[in-house]
Structure 1
Amino acid sequence: MPQTSRRLAICSLLGTALLAGCSSAPPRKPDNLCAIFEEKSDWYAAALDMNKRWGTPVHVPMAIMYQESGFRHDARPPMRWFLGLIPYGRASSAYGYSQAKTGTWSDYERETGNSWSSRDDFSDAMDFVGWYTHKTQSLNGVSKWDARNQYLAYHEGWGGYRNQSYNAKGWLLGVASKVDQRSRRYASQYNQCKDELSTGGWFW
């Protein structure tokens, strides 16, 4: 291969790697939904697809995923240690943006036909949360706009939510309130920028 062609090939590979790293990195301003979508236009496209498919407003899954993973694509529960020295596994199989457990993700793949999905892919994770909130409304009657109760069902499972297991977990009720507050803040921000996003402003 000529030296010039070799250099071009290396630059191309490096550029692809850098773009991949940027796309999976957490957003620089996670407290502002407009800034998130400005920085990551592919996330906005995924959010719109989720909303069209499942009817869940975009700010609710975004608030849930912030709480679950801080928008880290490879987030996992911390490792558990015996006597502080010997690792013996993690608290659960939760992984990725949505912190979906392996079994629940398998249910999602089977029911939606999205068998090539990945928990560390933002678009798939967004669709998963949309699917989950849709089922929460169907099974438990929780509005898709109700971020607090959607999060409680997300954390406890549909059966746990039905049995109100969250009432014995004061810390969880506090976290659910934080998710609700973030969702409301995201909704207010999105209302101010969605027209500009949709008409091709900013990064588009």
Structure 2
Amino acid sequence: MRTMDKVVGLGLTMVLLAGCATAPPRNPENICAIFEQHGGWHQSANKAREKWGAPVHVTMAMMYQESSFRHDARPPMRYFLFIPYGRASDAYGYAQAKKATWADYRRESGNGWADRDDFDDAIDFMGWYMNKTSKINGISKWDGYGQYLNYHEGWGGYRRGSHLRKGWLLTISRKVEARAQRYAEQYWQCKDRLNRGWFG
């Protein structure tokens, strides 16, 4: 019976934890709808903008591409003859941050308790990364295309031109840029209302 009690208790704990996870936005194509559903996300995005100078519409467009706003997103499992043998990388969370880069962020930002599956931490990480991209490779924080290429390839990879051999990545980066522009147009319409804290 003790074993059964432990199994039931573990199951209940997992259900409760799953219930605490923030659901992805119902309408991820509209930044106003995203922030109206998740008001705390707007505050977090604004904090990252104030701290790192990262435009809200660019960070949100990059996060959409990386995780579709899922807190537990991971790269897909790889298979050999139907046998799983691991994932392409250890990227995880809203920002699909890798462990080593996340460790650098925690150390340099002073946010030592940051979690990759916490939206506030993830968007702060993206702001930190975009700020470093601007300093290291001279890419404007408003340039969704160039920022995403750096985010995907890393600063050294971008300098070496690794993205130039990846047509699929260039296409995706243009999609990020286009989404950022749409988000910017939408955000212009609702930013003041969101900042007042009511959605009437």
Provide TM-score, normalisation by structure 2. 0.89
Q: What is the match of residue 20 of structure 2?
A: 20
CA distance in 1 between counterparts of 2:106 and 2:194 reads 30
Provide the rounded CA distance (Å) in 2 between the counterparts of 1:189 and 1:50: 19
**Shift in alpha-carbon separation, 1:18–1:77, aligned structure 2, 3 A:** closer
Q: 2:131 aligns with which of 134, 142, 155?
A: 134
Cα deviation per residue 1:8-45 (whole Å; 9 max; x = unaligned)? xxxxxxxx868724xx1100010000000011001001
| Structure 2 counterparts to residues 1-204 of structure 1, below 5 A | 20-21=20-21, 24-84=22-82, 86-202=83-199
CA distance in 2, matches of 1:58, 1:121: 17
**1:77, CA displacement in angstroms?**
0.6
SS at match of 1:153: helix
Residue segments in structure 1 that go unaligned for 5+ positions in a row: 1-15
CA distance in structure 1 between the aligned counterparts of 2:62 and 2:53, rounded to whole angstroms: 16
Report the count of equivalent residues. 186
Structure 2 spans left out of the alignment, 5+ residues: 1-15
Which residue in 1 is equivalent to 2:3?
none
Alignment RMSD: 1.6
* 1:200 Cα deviation after fit: 2.4
Moved over 6 A (4+): 16-19
Q: Within 2, Cα distance between the matches of 1:170 and 1:87?
A: 28
| Map of 1:7 onto structure 2 | none
Q: How many angstroms apart in 2 are the aligned matches of 1:99 and 1:39?
A: 22
AA matched with 2:26 = R
User: Does 107-116 or 131-140 show the bigger shift?
Assistant: 107-116
Q: CA deviation at 1:111?
A: 0.5
Cα deviation for residue 71 of structure 1 reads 0.4
